[in-house]
Amino acid sequence: MTILFKNARLIDPEQGTDAPGWLLVSGGTITQAGTGPVPHSDEVVDCGGKCLAPGIVDIGVKVCEPGERHKESFRTAGLAAAAGGVTTMVTRADTVPAIDTPEVLEFVTRRAGEDSPVRIAPMAALTKGRAGREMVEIGFLLDAGAVAFSDGDTVTTDTKVLSRAFTYARSLDALVIAHPQEPGLSNGASVTSGKFAALKGLPAVSPMAERMGLDRDIALVEMTGVKYHADQITTRRALPALERAKKNGFDVTAGTSIHHLTLNLLDVGDFRTFFKIKPPLRSENDRLAIVEAVASGLIDTISSFHTPQDEESKRLPFEEAASGAVGLETLLPAAMQLYHAEMLSLPQLFRAMALNPAKRLGLPGGRLSAGAPADLVMFDPDAPFVLNRFEMLSKSKNTPFDGQRMQGRVLQTWVGGAKVFDAKG
């Protein structure tokens, strides 16, 4: 069966274009894109001049299955993803228990297949139990479908263990995703150090801890030759190290979070725990530097780092409250803030949210070219709304954007040529 998406504003991150046109899909695969006279098709979807872009590939989604289904399940995460234009959730391994054996990974894949309307690309832990002592069965886990290896936001403090894991991963050409952070400095911290943290009396970490972590990891990459992705670069001072590593030809990429691109440390205000994330929100100077680094391509990917937390984990004094924010449904509207502020174009945004993550993980999606899967998001970048967290589909409602005026709504989401979300219901 063929489907024609006509009258669309095509956002093509590969070509770097944002132009009117049509897209033809056949058997779940994109077959042709063009302008002018439209080809014949079995079905026609009129985009009404709205944007059509490759579906978002979100690296670092926490689904909370197994272990914490009261916070999020494959069903609720999948629905939230579809509503947010995320067509592939690259899921985290920091569940309870950790996803560190092929058996647990198979459970995840099966559960996702049963319940999630969008695709799942699971990550596996890098060390057993994410304890930083022994590497996981990287070979078996690759065979079971792991797309990358990561202990989430836990830093492997034992550099010898990490160097062995990197060396072994290199032999299998596996991608390792790490959280660059000097663990001694950041231990116990809940905000970034500076005037604000000191005034509020909150335990704080210097932004320099991120650069120290990155410096160590890059040295290990140089030593081992592993394929490395830094999950979140959020500070200006970490950027020169990243730039040098790329110039030196190491296989290094980096991501950042939508929250670090759109919020700063002052948003914490009077101890608002929904703004407690890891790493903590940074200064406005850092935020602007990171936006620029995404624009230049130095930072490759933008993710939501969707981290569901129930009310009980957040309704605590700031130091005790859990870290993390949900983001699947707000990633696209938050990204539109950067578009409307004329800091990033739509092709630049979708390069970082769809094309680059797919490329880095070796997935076929993230593009509009012939042969790619028909994973698509149709959206209106201008549609205004006020976010009400209780209207979100995610089981946990811990969003920092509650009550905020936003622009940009997902109209339809398609996965493999099938419609999985329609704003009209």
Cβ atoms of residues 176 and 230 within 8 Å: no
Residue 320 binds another protein (CB under 8 A)? yes
- Work out which of 318, 350, 379, 421 binds another protein, going by CB under 8 A: 318
Residue 316: CB minimum distance to another protein, A? 7
Tokens of 339: 């578009």
Tokens of 14: 């590969």
Residue 204: CB minimum distance to another protein, A? 8
Closer Cβ to another protein, 109 or 206, answer by number: 206
Closer Cβ to another protein, 256 or 396, answer by number: 396
Closer Cβ to another protein, 18 or 310, answer by number: 310
Rounded to whole angstroms, the Cα distance separating 339 from 60 reads 23
Residue 209 binds another protein (CB under 8 A)? no
Cβ atoms of residues 234 and 179 within 8 Å: no
Residue 403 binds another protein (CB under 8 A)? no
- Taking CB under 8 A as the binding criterion, the range among 63-71, 143-151, 200-208, 297-305 that sits at the site for another protein is 200-208
Residue 316 binds another protein (CB under 8 A)? yes
**Site track for another protein across 257-286, x = CB under 8 A:** -------------xx---------------
Q: How many C-beta atoms surround the C-beta of residue 134 within 10 A?
A: 12
Closer Cβ to another protein, 317 or 364, answer by number: 317
Helix (H, G, I), strand (E, B) or coil at 175: strand
Q: Is 251 exposed, middle or buried (0-12, 13-18, 19+ CB in 10 A)?
A: middle
Closer Cβ to another protein, 18 or 319, answer by number: 319
Q: Would you give the DSSP letter of residue 153?
A: T
Residue 198 binds another protein (CB under 8 A)? yes
If phi > 0 it is left, if psi is from -120 to 50 it is alpha, else beta; for residue 388 that is: beta
- Taking CB under 8 A as the binding criterion, the range among 134-142, 220-228, 287-295, 308-316 that sits at the site for another protein is 308-316
Residue 197 binds another protein (CB under 8 A)? yes
Residue 402: CB minimum distance to another protein, A? 15
Residue 284: CB minimum distance to another protein, A? 14
Residues 293, 333, 176: CA angle, nearest 5 degrees: 45
Cβ atoms of residues 176 and 224 within 8 Å: no
Preceding omega of 183 cis (within 30 degrees of 0): no
- Taking CB under 8 A as the binding criterion, the range among 197-205, 248-256, 301-309, 388-396 that sits at the site for another protein is 197-205
Helix (H, G, I), strand (E, B) or coil at 305: coil
Integer-rounded Cα Rg, in Å, for the chain is: 20
Residue 206 binds another protein (CB under 8 A)? yes
Torsion angle, alpha carbons of 193, 194, 199, 203, to 10: 10
Residue 312 binds another protein (CB under 8 A)? yes
Residue 275: CB minimum distance to another protein, A? 12
Closest CA to 105 of 125, 87, 86: 125
- Work out which of 202, 241, 410, 415 binds another protein, going by CB under 8 A: 202
What values do phi and psi take at 148, rounded to 5? Answer: -165, 165
**Site track for another protein across 60-79, x = CB under 8 A:** --------------------
- Taking CB under 8 A as the binding criterion, the range among 29-37, 71-79, 193-201, 396-404 that sits at the site for another protein is 193-201
Residue 194: CB minimum distance to another protein, A? 4
Q: Which helix (H) or strand (E) holds 386?
A: strand 376-386
Rounded to whole angstroms, the Cα distance separating 75 from 62 reads 13
Binding site for another protein (CB under 8 A): 193-202, 204, 206, 270-271, 312, 315-320
